[in-house]
């Protein structure tokens, strides 16, 4: 076994020794590409979404120097009648070249010598494995001769393929030329590789209007196609994990759900789900991934509309994003849409490919945004934070007049289109209270009594603040919102909370004089048993 050539199955053995979610069906998708024009596959998905686990699984499956049957025979790939024949045919039948690109960083002066280093190391391991092999300085030529000597082509697996592009932008041209050398010439590529599986965070870097390595078929978190089920944990898988491990599925969904992919539905971050299970605690594990990227750096960029969009997203809203101009690197941003597209690729935003809207997917990521937003130095962002903090304070202190005035101010800043409806008013409320993340957890349309509460801000564990139950009315008196809260027994849904509750009724008067957007607010405190104080 080598580092680059035939690394064995120990990595996947360790994965199987822990709680394991069966993702072996991915093997069938790669098997379908072997010795076909579709043999080059690139799958990009956010950090901590199982990329390296998939790469280790593929290494263990294809590597001909080990017997991995015991690792796979109880998995879906072996038990599925449709896949079984292909599974048996390709199991442990290939020389595997495995590249974890991040591994070579310390040996290559931060990727500056990566192409030469990788070529040399692969050549050395091929020469050691096949003493009669004629080697040269040209890696593709050496690999062609290796396939002629052994009568077998390679399966190549590249993990974190985009690390040099993310971390050393100045090296990307030389690095992309190295990849072109291996994969651009279909004649040479087809002689060397039975299949290639490449995975990373970013889609393939664009060179002008085209992909720099154009022969790869790409599957991304934005457009996953047939790989959607393998982009993360599905809801069915998470529900089973919760049942098996005695975890609250409701809490798991609130914290880590939110990425919705076509034909699959909800997708969860595997790292966060497993951390919650192992630790017995629902928390934001995103900040512990040691990501090289800085969220604050991206949301601080000076593009028109970006600051307001981030405010809307943190408050629980959504934003239309044009994803098509992004060139797939960390430095070339032309506008707000490029920044938001990168945040989608990184997993900070979820994207609905059907509608073209992005949003913050769950409580974990919302807390990360709330944490970093306070370090942003832009004047308009600082103003928004201060106003939101003051609004929360005015609400807690039952200053209904000040609350109405601030909601009116935020509403006036909104475009008049789609203004006169409760959904628009709800969007304004979420934008106004967007800094709630320091003290509260947001719930929308919380099931309560005989109906749903529009917006509920529930204090975090250990907080002494009251819960906020906000009911919205359009063209009705704010008092009618409080009456609806009482009639539907909303506070009863919060009895487990055990603290004080503020009922907040907010209304917008459509019939106010032209040019004005008159709002009113009524606040009433109730005890944990639902009685007014």
* CATH code, 181: 3.40.50
Q: What percent of the chain has pLDDT over 90?
A: 51
Lowest-pLDDT range of 2-6, 56-60, 434-438, 523-527: 434-438
Residues 15 and 136 both lie in one domain: yes
Instruction: Look at residue 533 and tell me if it is in a domain.
Output: no
Helical H segments across 195-248, by residue range: 235-245
Per-residue pLDDT tens for 386-444? 888 999 999 999 999 999 999 888 877 754 444 455 566 677 888 888 888 778 888 77
Instruction: Look at residue 296 and tell me if it is in a domain.
Output: yes
Q: What is the mean pLDDT of the chain?
A: 86
Give me 164's structure tokens. Answer: 């040099």
Instruction: State how far the Cα of 302 lies from the Cα of 316, in Å rounded to an integer.
Output: 22
Instruction: Look at residue 226 and tell me if it is in a domain.
Output: no
Contact indicator for 366, 442 with CB cutoff of 8 Å? yes
Give the structural domain span for 484. 381-526
Question: Torsions phi, psi of 443, nearest 5?
Answer: -130, 130
Residues 91 and 111 both lie in one domain: yes
* Statement: residue 318 has pLDDT above 90: no
Instruction: Look at residue 1 and tell me if it is in a domain.
Output: no
- Residue at token pair 């040269």: 136
Q: What is the DSSP letter of 301?
A: S
- pLDDT at position 8 is 95
* Statement: residue 493 has pLDDT above 70: no
Give me 348's structure tokens. Answer: 């900070």
Residues 400 and 522 both lie in one domain: yes
Domain boundary among 352, 373, 394: 373
* Statement: residue 84 has pLDDT above 80: yes
Residues 403 and 271 both lie in one domain: no
Instruction: Please compute, for residue 210, the number of CA atoms within 13 A of its CA located in the half-sphere on the CB side.
Output: 5
Give me 303's structure tokens. Answer: 């593009």
Packing angle of the helix pair 139-150, 114-129 (nearest 10 deg): 20
Contact indicator for 501, 494 with CB cutoff of 8 Å? yes
Containing H/E element for 219? strand 217-219
* Statement: residue 133 has pLDDT above 80: yes
Strand duo 350-352 + 265-268: pairing = unpaired
Per-residue pLDDT tens for 436-482? 877 888 877 665 544 444 688 888 877 888 999 888 777 666 667 67
Instruction: Look at residue 532 and tell me if it is in a domain.
Output: no
Residues in contact with 417: Cβ distance below 8 Å, sequence separation at least 6, in sequence order: none
Residues 483 and 431 both lie in one domain: yes
The DSSP result for 337-397, as a single string, is HHHHHHHHHHTSSEEETTTTEEE--SHHHHHHHHHHHTT---HHHHHHHHHHHHHHHHHHT
Residues 133 and 16 both lie in one domain: yes
User: Average pLDDT, stretch 39-48?
Assistant: 92
Instruction: Look at residue 224 and tell me if it is in a domain.
Output: no
Q: What percent of the chain has pLDDT over 70?
A: 87
Give me 141's structure tokens. Answer: 């030529």
CA angle 191, 193, 197 (to 5 degrees): 155
Give me 486's structure tokens. Answer: 């009482």
Residues 66 and 168 both lie in one domain: yes
Q: In which band, very low, low, confident or very high, does the pLDDT at 190 lie, cut at 50, 70 and 90?
A: very high
Residues 305 and 345 both lie in one domain: yes
Contact indicator for 69, 11 with CB cutoff of 8 Å? no
Instruction: Look at residue 5 and tell me if it is in a domain.
Output: no
What is the strand order of the sheet 501-509 is part of? Answer: 440-448, 451-459, 467-474, 501-509, 518-526
Per-residue pLDDT tens for 319-373? 999 998 888 888 888 899 999 999 999 999 999 989 999 999 998 888 888 777 7
Residues 324 and 386 both lie in one domain: no
- Residue at token pair 């991995």: 68
Domain count, the chain: 3
Q: In which band, very low, low, confident or very high, does the pLDDT at 383 lie, cut at 50, 70 and 90?
A: confident
Domain boundary among 219, 241, 268: 219
Residues 261 and 183 both lie in one domain: no
Q: Which residues lie across from 198 on neighbouring strands?
A: 42, 158
Instruction: Look at residue 124 and tell me if it is in a domain.
Output: yes
Give me 354's structure tokens. Answer: 């059907």
Domain boundary among 373, 402, 430: 373
Residues 47 and 156 both lie in one domain: yes
Of 170, 163, 162, 167, give the one whose Cα is nearest residue 211: 162
Residues 369 and 405 both lie in one domain: no
- Print burial letters for 116-150: b (CB count within 10 Å at least 16), e (below 16): eebbebbbebbeebbeebebeeebbebbebbbeeb
- Residue at token pair 């769950």: 362
The set of long-range contacts for 365-369, using a CB threshold of 8 Å and a minimum separation of 24, is: 365/258, 365/284, 365/286, 366/314, 366/316, 366/437, 366/442, 367/284, 367/437, 368/284, 368/286, 368/287, 368/295, 369/295, 369/299, 369/310, 369/313, 369/314, 369/437
Packing angle of the helix pair 270-279, 249-256 (nearest 10 deg): 140
């Amino acid at each position: 076994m080598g580092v680059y050539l035939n690394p064995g199955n120990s990595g996947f053995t360790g994965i199987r020794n822990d709680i394991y979610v069966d993702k072996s069906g991915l093997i069938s998708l790669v098997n379908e590409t072997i010795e076909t024009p579709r043999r080059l596959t690139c799958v990009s998905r956010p950090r901590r979404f199982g990329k390296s686990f998939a790469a280790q699984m593929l290494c263990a499956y294809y590597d001909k120097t080990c017997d991995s049957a015991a690792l796979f025979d109880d998995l879906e790939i072996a038990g599925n009648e449709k896949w079984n024949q292909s599974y048996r045919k390709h199991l442990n039948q290939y020389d595997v070249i495995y590249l974890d690109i991040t591994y070579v960083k310390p040996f290559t002066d931060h990727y500056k010598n990566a192409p030469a280093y990788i070529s040399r190391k692969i050549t050395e391991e091929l020469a050691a494995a096949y003493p009669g092999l004629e080697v040269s300085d040209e890696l593709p030529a050496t690999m062609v001769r290796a396939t002629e000597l052994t009568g077998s082509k390679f399966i190549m697996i590249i993990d974190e393929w985009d690390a040099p592009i993310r971390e050393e932008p100045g090296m990307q041209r030389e690095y992309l030329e190295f990849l072109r050398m291996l994969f651009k010439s279909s004649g040479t590529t087809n002689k060397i590789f039975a299949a290639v599986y490449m995975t990373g965070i970013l889609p393939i870097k664009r060179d002008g209007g085209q992909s720099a390595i154009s022969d790869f078929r790409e599957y991304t978190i934005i457009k996953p196609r047939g790989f959607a089920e393998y982009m993360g944990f599905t809801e069915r898988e998470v529900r089973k994990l919760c049942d098996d491990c005695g975890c609250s599925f409701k809490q798991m969904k609130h914290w880590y759900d939110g990425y919705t992919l076509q034909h699959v539905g909800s997708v969860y971050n595997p790292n966060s789900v497993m951390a919650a299970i192992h630790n017995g605690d629902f928390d934001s594990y995103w900040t512990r991934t040691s990501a090289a990227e800085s969220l604050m750096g991206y949301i601080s960029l000076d593009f028109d509309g970006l600051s307001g969009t981030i405010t809307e997203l943190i408050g629980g809203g959504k934003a239309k994003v044009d994803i098509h101009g992004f060139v797939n690197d960390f430095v070339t941003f032309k506008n707000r849409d490029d920044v938001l597209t990168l945040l989608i690729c990184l997993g900070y935003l979820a994207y609905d490919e059907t509608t073209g809207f992005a949003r913050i997917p769950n409580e974990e990521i919302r807390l990360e945004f709330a944490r970093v937003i306070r370090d942003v130095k832009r004047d308009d962002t600082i103003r928004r934070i201060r106003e939101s903090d003051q609004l929360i304070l005015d609400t807690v202190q039952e200053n209904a007049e000040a609350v109405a005035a601030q909601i009116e101010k935020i509403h006036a800043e909104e475009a008049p289109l789609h203004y006169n409806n409760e959904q628009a008013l709800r969007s304004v409320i979420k934008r106004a209270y967007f800094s709630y993340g320091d003290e509260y957890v947001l719930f929308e349309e919380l099931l309560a009594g005989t109906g749903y509460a529009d917006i509920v801000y529930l204090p975090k564990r250990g907080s002494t603040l009251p819960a906020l139950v906000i009911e919205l009315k359009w063209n009705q008196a704010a008092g009618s919102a409080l009456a609806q809260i009482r009639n539907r027994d909303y506070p009863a849904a919060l009895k487990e909370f055990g603290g004080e509750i503020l009922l907040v009724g907010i209304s917008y008067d459509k019939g106010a004089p032209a040019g004005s957007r008159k709002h009113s607010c009524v606040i009433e405190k109730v005890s944990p048993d639902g009685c007014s104080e």
